[in-house]
Chains A and B, each alone.
Chain A
Amino acid sequence: DIVMSQTPLSSPVTLGQPASISCRSSQSLVHSDGNTYLSWLHQRPGQPPRLLIYKISNRFSGVPDRFSGSGAGTDFTLKISRVEAEDVGVYYCTQVTQLPITFGQGTRLEIK
Chain B
Amino acid sequence: EVQLVESGGGLVQPGGSLRLSCAASGFTFSDHWMRWVRLAPGKGLEWVANISPDGNTRTYVDSVRGRFTISRHNAKNSLYLQMDSLRAEDTAVYYCVRVDGYGYRTFDYWGQGNLVTVSS
A residues contacting B by CB (< 8 A) are 37, 39, 41, 47-51, 54-55, 58, 60, 92, 94, 96, 99-106
- Per the bound structure, the CA–CA distance linking A85 and B59 in Å amounts to 38
A51–B108 touching, CB < 8 Å: yes
B98 to A: closest C-beta gap in Å: 10
Q: How many of chain B's residues have a CB under 8 angstroms from any CB in A?
A: 22
A9 to B: closest C-beta gap in Å: 10
B49 to A: closest C-beta gap in Å: 10
B45–A103 touching, CB < 8 Å: yes
Q: Is the interface of B mostly helix, strand, loop or mixed?
A: strand
**How many A-B residue pairs lie within 8 Å, measured between CB atoms?**
56
The 7 closest A-B pairs by CB, nearest first: A101-B47, A54-B106, A48-B110, A96-B105, A103-B45, A39-B106, A106-B44
- Per the bound structure, the CA–CA distance linking A48 and B37 in Å amounts to 11
Can you name the residue of chain A whose Cβ is closest to the Cβ of B105? A96
Q: Mark B37-51, 1 if CB is under 8 A from A, else 0.
A: 100000011110010
A50–B110 touching, CB < 8 Å: yes
B88 to A: closest C-beta gap in Å: 21
Q: Mark B93-106, 1 if CB is under 8 A from A, else 0.
A: 00100001000111
Interface-central residue, B45, B46, B111, by most chain A CB under 10 Å: B45
* Contact among A50, A60, A105 for B44, CB-based, below 8 A: A105
B11 at the interface (CB under 8 A from A): no
A55–B47 touching, CB < 8 Å: no
* Contact among A47, A51, A55, A106 for B45, CB-based, below 8 A: A106
A46 to B: closest C-beta gap in Å: 10
- Per the bound structure, the CA–CA distance linking A62 and B106 in Å amounts to 16
A103–B44 touching, CB < 8 Å: yes
- Per the bound structure, the CA–CA distance linking A106 and B44 in Å amounts to 6
